[in-house]
Amino acid sequence: MKSEKSLKELQQEVHTYISQFKEGYFSPLAMLARMTEELGELAREVNHFYGEKPKKSNEAENTVEEELGDLLFVLICFANSLNLDLEEAHDRVMKKFNTRDKNRWTKINDETMG
């Protein structure tokens, strides 16, 4: 059974991995380029599975889950390289969505009460 990991634990796990190499984290600009590259790979997989573009017969079989994992790894590297806490970033964005955007979308409970 897999144990759940907090964002802090994920950030520490990635930091432990990266810290074993002399090169360390890439620069913010290089990290952004890597993130863009991974996002493109995710887009390609989504297009193959859910879009109109079938894979070529000689293309490797990647999955959306694998590409999301790659993107998450680079995102964590980016945050770590800038000493950002992703848990705090998440809490801030959820506060924004729960205040500024609280009435932006139709809630399921609002639909059933009619």
Q: What is the pLDDT of residues 75-93, one digit of tens each?
A: 999 999 999 999 999 999 9
Q: What is the pLDDT of residues 8-61, one digit of tens each?
A: 999 999 999 999 999 999 999 999 999 999 999 999 999 988 888 777 777 777
Residue among 74, 66, 67, 71 nearest 26 (CA): 74
Q: What burial class does residue 92 get, using C-beta atoms within 10 Å of its C-beta: 0-12 exposed, 13-18 middle, 19+ buried?
A: exposed
Q: What burial class does residue 45 get, using C-beta atoms within 10 Å of its C-beta: 0-12 exposed, 13-18 middle, 19+ buried?
A: buried
pLDDT of residue 101: 83
Correct CATH for 7-84 of 1.10.3080.10, 1.10.3720.10, 1.10.287.1080, 3.20.20.140: 1.10.287.1080
Domain ranges of the chain: 7-84
Rg (CA), the chain: 18
